[in-house]
Structure 1
Amino acid sequence: MFMNFSYSFPAIRGLQAGREFYTIMCPLRLIPKIFLFDEEEIPAEHRAQRLMNKSRVPDITNYILENPRDYIFSSLTASVDGELIFQPQSKEFKDLGYLNISLDSKFLINDGQHRRAAIEEALKISPELGDETISVVFFHDLGLVRSQQMFSDLNRHAVNTTSSIGILYDHRDQLSLITKSLINEIPLLERYTDREKVSLSKNSPKLFALNHIFNTICRLLGKRKGELISEPEKKFVSEFWALLCVSIPEWQDVLDKQTSPRDLRAGSVVAHGVFLEAIGIVGHYLYRYHSDEWDSYVKKLSKVDWSRDNKADWLGRAYGQTGRINKTNETIQLTANHIKVKLGLPLTEAEQKIENKIKEGTPINV
């Protein structure tokens, strides 16, 4: 029997595992009205999805609002607990038509709850977005067990992209653009930067990972992803890296084929992310307090013993007692502190407190 009161959506009918499903185009203004979440107080075993991480919503909301002409969302996936009637357009196009869903149906998002929440927040600020659409894949709700299984299946094979891939494919963020431009400008970086991985295996033919370069630039400028970069800052980044690359003899040995990235990783701290980000901290200090002579300090790096055999300098900083490099915010800062000492630069009050902990014998997690 046809429903007197219903939602009606243009739809395409499909078949998976012997069950029909439907893909529709839904106006954004309807998304907050028809899609609901499980209540947070319901125990996990009785929910069909995980609790929403509300801290993610503002970032997605800003993404929509800041890119109104070129934002893009993948489909939402939802279960419908209610009557569904599909009306084919014609006999020739039996899987193309209209999907009618009774108004008293309950809708449950199986995949896309953060996008749904972000859309709701974006509509509050820009109601004109309400006429735009997002694709939604509807399945008929067969109960809690089926909904939980759908959530598990949808996320079972999901693989997050690496941060390096995210940087490589980001054509909006200025820090990402600067990072990619820098790599193309400098022969050493262009040849020896892995643009996909976030960490390198001991046998990798590359010397750097793209995200290491990006993180170092963030520390160099004291900036975060999404922040604006001035022209003087861009110029400093380019000049700093150009000088840095010729001021580390070990890097030049790799470029000249006198040593391999593998051997350098095994024997020196300069082939690791902890060193790069520590250099970023030092460079930021030089930019702020020695803007007219920062280059003279960078050149001094060529005189430092960066070998891992130099335990007096790097043990307990760049690596621990096992000899394993461990990149954490603390080890990065400890390494940066000692580089500053090597260059004759004073430590800040916060940096000195960290050094005092070492002198007092307070355990350091490296």
Structure 2
Amino acid sequence: MNAAFSYNFPSLRGVQGGNEFFVAMVPLRLIPRIFLFDEEEIPPEHRAQRIINKSRIPDITNYILENSKEYVFSSLTASIDGQVHFQPFSDAHDFEDLGNLVVSLDSKFLINDGQHRRAAIEEALKISPDLGEENISVVFYHDKGLKKSQQIFADLNRHAVNTTSSLGILYDHRDQLALLTKDIIAETPLLERYTDKEKVSLSKNSPKLFALNHIFKTNQKLLGKKKGEFITEDEKTFIKEFWEVLCDSIVEWKQVLNKELNPRELRAHYVVAHGIFLEALGIVGNFLYYNHPTDWKEHIKKLSNIDWNRSNSKDWLGRAFGPTGRINKNNQTIQLTANMIKIKLALPLTEQEEEMENTLKQGV
């Protein structure tokens, strides 16, 4: 192979399953050049990855640009179809796996894992070319004819488990709403004791009452905010006071805190033990924040007078739970539950909420 017509990557050589692989540090500016990605040009038999979801790219791009001094990316994984030669820097036994990976210029590179990162890097470089001198690690596999590329993708993802959204919030130290949510939990005895910070849903026997992601989503609805948006001091004050008043207004929650009722019993018999209730309250709280800025606390306190028992099918059937009694949480049922709470609090429904109520009545 002519070294003048090749890529040269300082690399570390390893062996897995009896086959060589190589870990290289690649400048970001080279990523869009060597890893071309055009789904229309890649034959189906070589599409060893998911079809790219273009809606994900702006978020990843913004992550790079907004955290240019501290962003972190895991390695890309790629297959090489072409001539490959590894040149050790030294013949010494301890250094024989450290050297240059020489790849012919006419080789084809196919990303097995990391196509969204590749696309985001390309977009980030257009805005901030200086990032091109930074590096990302790439794990290369030699795959003649790209015959193994699909199997590589399958093997890489076979045991992959995505972190839960609750853990993502717990470990997020940049997002203002995530930080505020964690502060509220830490400062509120009921939430601090009974919030599961890892799971996104709780089993019927869980000793916890809430999942962190449910509280976070409730806060999003309370403020009408998306992840990453700025939160004012007034909004911070409101949301902290909201949870304080709420925890003091739900009688059943106080019974759990006082050990008069256990979480399992609450979950089995009351609507207030489920994420659908919290998120519905987020909608109601948002309405109060903008329409009752001075007396919203009085409305929240009236929640103590509502019958939250799941046996109260007149109010909650078709909203918080279905005919089988199973809690059914989706955008529609969250809104329908919020509608009933507003009705109980003598708050007016919006035109859209009225339409939902009419549709529900026609379906009964």
State how far apart, in whole Å, the 2-side matches of 1:95 and 1:181 are: 48
Name the SS for the 1:252 alignment partner. Answer: helix
Verify: 1:26 aligned to 2:17, yes or no: no
Name the SS for the 2:9 alignment partner. Answer: strand
Q: CA RMSD in A?
A: 1.3
Name the SS for the 2:141 alignment partner. Answer: strand
State how far apart, in whole Å, the 1-side matches of 2:3 and 2:274 are: 65
Q: Match of 2:232, as an amino acid?
A: S
1:49: how far off? 2.4
User: 1:193 — aligned with what?
Assistant: 195
State how far apart, in whole Å, the 2-side matches of 1:259 and 1:343 are: 26
Alignment of 1:284-299 (within 5 A): 284-299=286-301
Q: Deviations along 1:27-80, whole A, 9 cap, x unmatched? A: 000000011235326563442323211111111111101110111100011111
State how far apart, in whole Å, the 1-side matches of 2:16 and 2:267 are: 49
Alignment of 1:135-146 (within 5 A): 135-146=137-148
Name the SS for the 2:21 alignment partner. Answer: strand
State how far apart, in whole Å, the 2-side matches of 1:30 and 1:43 are: 24
Name the SS for the 2:315 alignment partner. Answer: helix
Q: Match of 2:324, as an amino acid?
A: T
Q: Match of 2:48, as an amino acid?
A: A
- Kindly tell me: are residues 135 and 217 of structure 1, through their superposed partners in 2, closer, same or farther at Cα, counting changes over 3 Å? same
Match of 1:111 among 93, 110, 113: 113
1:260: how far off? 0.5
Alignment of 1:143-182 (within 5 A): 143-182=145-184
1:89: how far off? 1.2
Structure 1 gaps, min length 5: none
Q: Match of 2:163, as an amino acid?
A: T
State how far apart, in whole Å, the 1-side matches of 2:137 and 2:41 are: 30
User: 2:58 — aligned with what?
Assistant: 58
User: 1:307 — aligned with what?
Assistant: 309
Alignment of 1:136-285 (within 5 A): 136-285=138-287
TM-score (norm 1): 0.96
Q: Deviations along 1:244-293, whole A, 9 cap, x unmatched? A: 00100000000000010000000000000110011111100000000000
Q: Match of 2:178, as an amino acid?
A: S
Tell me if structure 2 keeps the 8 A contact 1:38–1:48: no
Verify: 1:75 aligned to 2:80, yes or no: no
Report the more deviating stretch, 45-54 or 71-80: 45-54
Structure 2 gaps, min length 5: none
Q: Match of 1:105, as an amino acid?
A: S
Identical residues among aligned pairs (%) = 70
State how far apart, in whole Å, the 2-side matches of 1:249 and 1:39 are: 56
State how far apart, in whole Å, the 2-side matches of 1:52 and 1:313 are: 44
1:312: how far off? 1.2
Tell me if structure 1 keeps the 8 A contact 2:46–2:149: no
Tell me if structure 2 keeps the 8 A contact 1:48–1:144: no
